[in-house]
Structure 1
């Protein structure tokens, strides 16, 4: 016996034991983003003394196939019976990733509101809607909004709250960033940055995040820089890890150089690095080398 439950299927198999299964309709959507359900399920005999069996509440159960929820009922049931499923919540993840959210009206309304607000914020930047501050990069300018910048960065907030030159002239000079990197920085602040743009400018974004105290951007850059360490960039990343206090990146670079033996593959570059590197970094490298030698 099968019943369609809002694109969910209820299957009943009756042999010596009655098995009740709940699973989603098979589709590309449910295959890649299976629903996460919270529900109560009951079996009620419709004749006689109306025996009622209730399964304990299921919370945040991922339903991907017909084996994910199986309820075996050994109590004999005679005649007709009714199976009731009361969904307490049903969550799905968006196709572009992110945390699963409820499909109920409250969750959908909040999600739609957030998406619309973020799109509008990005439009304010891209179309220069009522901008009130001019950002001067090294080779160009961008119009922005004091309130948005102050909400995202305590440094900008302090800058606009005191009698500083930027407050008087309605400009902020960021001469250490190109216009492309500066645009990526403000795209991130306004929630409108693209992944390729982020990857292209992540070192400049790291510098800006540290300078303007935007911790979430700094952490995003930190995590991204961990993903593709190689012989061409390891020394630069080690220097940045020390400069911006990124412990995981520093440890990963040290491990790549010492434990993986890559120091020997970039001997000339490493010797040049030692000539200008911070003394603290050099000390840490040699401590790592000595520790590695003790392991042999």
Structure 2
């Protein structure tokens, strides 16, 4: 089997969020090629292509102690596409399987690409297989920031104060209900809350904070974060509302957690919404990630039906920035 000579750039896999992309200038006379390893989750991965009657694509983790003791269970989609006006694109079905070796996923593509083409792997979910036969358990990546912020031992006491209503002295009025909390805890978490209770404002006089742009459940998640009692599923469900609250009440740690989480699962169905949120709340990291996803990774083709509506509602400065990205991405090498 001929491996052929490929330069390092032709073997490099670029990654962003949960998308990996291998750009190949030409398969040429090669019958087999393997990518450089790329990191996603706790594993290093490889892609290979093999040319026979079909083109066969494989995805597998690097054989090592981590993949042996904590093998991945991945739900993913693979796409192969050529650029330009005569663009050919092949998309696999949604795969959901345990990946240990190069034989666990082999996808035959009934076409041999001659020139430039890309192979995309979009991980829809990543879990760690249980070695005792139980259900796979979730892999927490960027959620580590959330965990580190809210897992201090002292917050366990604050959590109990909230849950048991110990010495509560302020009422929060949400759009559909009321919650009880503590002025001191709120003031220590947010300079905006602190200002409410420091000066002769109505919140100080009435001991009531009106947050009527958030539901009772979203407010509960906000208090859960402040008191260190938030659950991951609550954070995930209400992270857009929490992002707005973090900006409104100047809670920097919460804003960072929301940005990292939104950056972690960019896909074609949400990238334009995420870009708008990044612009609205000045999240430069998320904005850069969305623009990279659209232009450097070529996903602008997949949202062409939604882009006109998006342009009708976005800020002029954001539109200019997007066109600048287009010009940069399409500039000849």
Class of the TM-score when normalised by the shorter of the 2 chains? 0.5 to 0.7
Q: CA deviation at 1:118?
A: 1.8
Structure 1 unaligned blocks of 5 or more: 1-30, 33-95, 100-113
Q: CA deviation at 1:295?
A: 3.2
Superposition TM-score, scaled by structure 1 size: 0.61
Secondary structure class of the residue paired with 1:136: strand
Secondary structure class of the residue paired with 1:201: helix
Return the alpha-carbon distance in structure 1 between the equivalents of residues 257 and 225 of structure 2.
11
* Counterpart selection for 1:180 from 199, 213, 217: 217
Moved beyond 4 Å, runs of 4+: 96-99
The within-5 A match list for 1:1-296 is 115=153, 117-295=154-332
**RMSD of aligned residue pairs (Cα, Å):** 2.2
Secondary structure class of the residue paired with 2:265: coil
- 1:209-232: CA deviation from partner (whole Å, max 9, x where unpaired): 111111111111111111100011
Secondary structure class of the residue paired with 1:143: strand
Superposition TM-score, scaled by structure 2 size: 0.54
- 1:217-252: CA deviation from partner (whole Å, max 9, x where unpaired): 111111111110001111111011111111111011
Q: Aligned in 2, Cα 1:295/1:252: closer, same or farther, shift over 3 Å?
A: farther
What is the aligned residue count? 189
Q: CA deviation at 1:266?
A: 1.4
Q: CA deviation at 1:163?
A: 0.6
Return the alpha-carbon distance in structure 1 between the equivalents of residues 251 and 257 of structure 2.
10
Q: CA deviation at 1:170?
A: 1.0
Q: CA deviation at 1:98?
A: 8.0
Aligned to 2:19: none
Secondary structure class of the residue paired with 1:266: helix
Return the alpha-carbon distance in structure 1 between the equivalents of residues 332 and 239 of structure 2.
36
Secondary structure class of the residue paired with 1:252: helix
Of structures 1 and 2, the one with the larger relative CO (CA 8 A, separation 6+) is: 2
